[in-house]
Structure 1
């Protein structure tokens, strides 16, 4: 079984099940100059494509989609192109492009779907300094086999994924999910956050700073994140587990669940929402 770990920007290029020591989640970020293309062969995995910056064009099985366009992850909600298993695709950068690619082995073949900002509810979760903004691109109700894709923005000084929770299927209804957190900071040179993953029953503790381009692999354990004061944080959350299970049901750390009691009185952080629905497009 794999262990939760943080991989630093520049020290990883692709997360594979073999590298992570798990079964389902593959993740990478492609950086393509305008006009260039990348071909991905058909295989047994379903894929999700999320432009982090720039605009992409995808061609697959006689269909074509143009999507993305935000200048950065802090300038608009995401687009997400879902393609089913056994689908070859060519991704072309219409502008300079950073695009996240998530994949997981699939047992069923679904239809392609393009999710746009029009399809996303802007959800403000938590309260007080545990307030954050969530954009759910692929939730359990999405017509896919295993992949879940979620964007989260956390204002500087705030906690996210709080109270700490986990997905291990230790009790009925709790999901069994592998999970990645891919981080971007509004100030990429100086920005940072803290990531904690812990498991009392295993005697495990991981508490480390994370910076722009880092990624955390979470096969098990309670986890939570806090953005440093003055440093707004984004993370792209990829989850996948055994099919046909499609649930994000989590188990919270019961010792910290009482934090919710103060949220109604505290209200949502007045800085939220700070991500516009529509990005500026050149």
Structure 2
């Protein structure tokens, strides 16, 4: 099996300065996708320079104020936790400066994508505009919060969503990939999974495996704060252990001029989708009830 230390980053193993997690294209060994997890104490502020990348400021728990160098202010109400509801967020373009501050403190995801374009302005994403989708059925049921995907929120290269999976269910299944550009069929995207598991001692499993010409072999036990990098290959399932609900944040970006998220199922397992027509979504979904399902 592949040395998973390249692709599985347990909590606390990829930190820098104020960041609980710092994944850059350089540290990941690829070209586009990045992710930072920032914790702010009450009253604390952090200055962010976006450089050659676009960013989202996405509250995981707590709220914050995002103030740009040109005087725009975005008040993010945030949320009490990732299983409670979707959240509002802010978009920051490349070559911009902003200060993220939090009166009560909190934790914030900063997914990013290196891009050569910078035509979009900084702006606010409303909580009520985030599409919440239930995918799969039966024990393959999961909830997807589509923050920054084509058709939901405009960006240059960045794609961001959250997936919430009830304990005992399988997510990112059937296994799929998006590592080569095939117009209308598949996009080339580097992907980061960042995990949170509900419950003390909670855990889950993440599988990544390669094609014949591009091998990769990862089976990682993941816990809250862990990260898995997916440069290529089939990924899935993401397995939530019984009794422990699973959350993961997906950050993706690639070289394509057309921003798209097109996936290809592993043909050995794609047939599983045909079984869902006779099953119902898991009644535990959506998380957060009325608030999460807006």
TM-score, normalised to structure 1, is 0.93
Residue 127 of structure 2 is aligned to residue 117 of structure 1: yes
Say whether the 8 Å CA contact 1:77–1:277 is kept in structure 2.
no
Aligned partner of 2:221 in structure 1 is 209
Q: CA 1:243/1:113 → structure 2, altered by over 3 Å: closer, same or farther? A: farther
Is it true that 1:65 corresponds to 2:78 in the alignment?
no
The answer to whether 1:238 aligns with 2:251 is yes
SS at 2:284's partner residue?
A: coil
**In the alignment, is the contact (CA less than 8 A) between 1:53 and 1:68 conserved in 2?**
no
1:196 maps to which of 207, 232, 248: 207
Counterpart of 1:140? 150
2:39 is aligned, of 18, 31, 34, to 31
Q: Which moved more, 1:147-156 or 1:34-43?
A: 34-43
Q: CA deviation at 1:245?
A: 2.4
Instruction: Return the alpha-carbon distance in structure 2 between the equivalents of residues 277 and 4 of structure 1.
Output: 40
Describe the SS at the equivalent of 2:187: coil
Q: What is residue 165 of structure 1 aligned with on the other side?
A: 176
The 2-side partners of 1:130 and 1:229 are apart by 13
Aligned to 2:61: 53
SS in 1 for 2:274: helix
1:180 aligns with 2:188: no
1:154 to 145, 148, 165: 165
Per-residue CA deviation, residues 219-268 of structure 1 (Å, 9 max, x unaligned), is 10111111001100000100001142211100110110111111111110
Write the distance in 2 (CA, Å) between the matches of 1:274 and 1:40: 31
Gaps of 5+ in 1: none
Determine if contact 1:4/1:220 at 8 Å carries over to the other structure.
Answer: no
**Whole-angstrom distance in 2 between the partners of 1:204 and 1:34:** 42
Q: Which runs of 5+ in 2 are unaligned?
A: 16-21
Of the candidates 11, 25, 31, which is equivalent to residue 17 of structure 1? 25
Q: 1:116 to 1:258 in 2, by over 3 A?
A: same
Residue in 1 aligned with 2:288? 275
Pairing 1:126–2:136 present: yes
Which stretch of the first structure deviates more once superposed, 20-29 or 103-112? 103-112
Give the CA deviation at 1:4: 6.5
What TM-score results when the alignment is normalised by the length of structure 2?
0.90
Where do 1:77-116 residues align within 5 Å?
Answer: 77-109=86-118, 110-116=120-126
What does residue 272 of structure 2 align with?
259
Secondary structure of the structure 2 residue equivalent to 1:258: helix
